[in-house]
Amino acid sequence: MKTRVQWRRQIVFMLIVAAVAWGLYSGFRPQPVVVEFGEVVRAPLRVTVEQEGRTRVVDRYVVTAPVDGYARRIDLDVGDTVAARDTLVALEASRSAVLDARRRAEAEARVAAAQANLAAVEQRVKATEAGAALATKELERMKLLRASGHVAAEAEDRAAAEDERAGAELRSARFTVATARHELEAARTALGFAAAGGTGAPVEVRAPVAGQVLKIPRKSEGAVEAGQPLVEIGDARALEVEVDVLSADAVRIRPGTRVLFERWGGDGALEGKVRVVEPAGFTKVSALGVEEQRVWVIADFASAPETWQHLGDGYRVEASFVLWEGEDVLQVPASALFRDGDGWAVFAVEEGRAVRRRVETGQGTGLVAQVLDGLKEGERVIVHPDDRLRDGVKVSGR
């Protein structure tokens, strides 16, 4: 009969053998691949092109010296408000400004050209006024039809947008008339004082339009040449945003595209709309030293003016051009997708195993992609798949 000591030795030996066997089994048994899971969800999706932009005054005017002379000190400061016809600077004409016959003929030709230009822009104002009046009548008609239920709200919105656009064109046309009159006066002044040999009273350079002083190149008195900038003025309440985007992105942006202006210093985002995508591009060197072809995109504010009136000329904004958006979009993390022939695929997770599945994608951003077919809401997928994954391999979450 075995002794108690022998039984203990046998039990200890059996435990050691069992432990070694379990260790061997655990060591050689296939281990689940540790991965990171993502989920297929339904949520809003917005595809945008984001770029930094800056505001600028829509209608601005650089007042220049009409003749060579001596400018007195400018008493205005940047930000001052001026009315149309206010004196900006007094300019003492130079005695050497007497014209010979050829130059006198050129000055007279400039006066005639300025008169013709003024007549042309005045006709444009009349045409713009007629268009603005028609847009206003159309808006009133749409409001009545909307109240009686004969048209949809979209038709009224379009009429309101057209009325606003026509009003903006009318304001711009009137600004053009004011500047044309100023140019005609400058041409007449140059001709008159040159004929007088510069011995008359000082030339009073006046503001062509009402607005604010945006820039004064030089406040102190001194000699100036004809055409030298003296004061830059404009209406700071009429702003637009200029954004330079890559030419590859510009081809996807159209006039009327919705824009969101974010991180501009105020609360929330401002709404805007693209007015024009300029047809000519330019070369710009990026911060990394790479030459890029870029295009200017000009957008108008669509939010109420009181929400953005604290912005001024040359202020920085971040513009997001909305190329596509949906409210209830089935989407998957973009990092879960990988190429499968000429299409896309993911590794879905079924009962703890990776299952290779082809998917059809639609719109997408750098973070998520729209799923058109191949996945359902609530399914789990593997993000950042690597070469350890195969169809049917066991996986576990990180």
Question: Residues 304-325: pLDDT tens digits?
Answer: 888 888 898 899 999 999 999 9
Q: Tens digit of pLDDT for each residue in 53-87?
A: 999 998 888 988 887 788 888 989 998 999 988 88
Average pLDDT over residues 92-110: 63
How far is the CA of 167 from the CAs of 113, 135, 163, in angstroms? 28, 9, 6
Look at residue 85 and give its three-state secondary structure.
Answer: coil
How many other CB atoms are found less than 10 A from the CB of residue 276? 12
Q: Tens digit of pLDDT for each residue in 216-251?
A: 998 888 888 888 999 999 887 889 999 999 999 999
- Tokens in use for 133? 């009046």
Distance of alpha carbon 304 from its chain centroid, rounded? Answer: 18
Q: Tens digit of pLDDT for each residue in 252-285?
A: 999 999 999 999 988 889 999 999 999 999 999 8
pLDDT band at 101 (very low <50, low <70, confident <90, very high): low
Q: CA nearest 370: which of 94, 104, 87, 43?
A: 43
Residue 203: per-residue pLDDT: 79
Residue 30: per-residue pLDDT: 63
Count of residues in the chain: 398
Residue 337: per-residue pLDDT: 94
Q: CA nearest 157: which of 137, 171, 142, 176?
A: 142
Residue of 133 and 77 predicted with greater confidence: 77
Note the pTM of the prediction, 2 decimals: 0.64
Residue 250: per-residue pLDDT: 94
Residue type, 211: G
Residue 97: per-residue pLDDT: 46
Q: How far apart are alpha carbons 269 and 138 in whole angstroms?
A: 31
Q: How far apart are alpha carbons 169 and 148 in whole angstroms?
A: 31
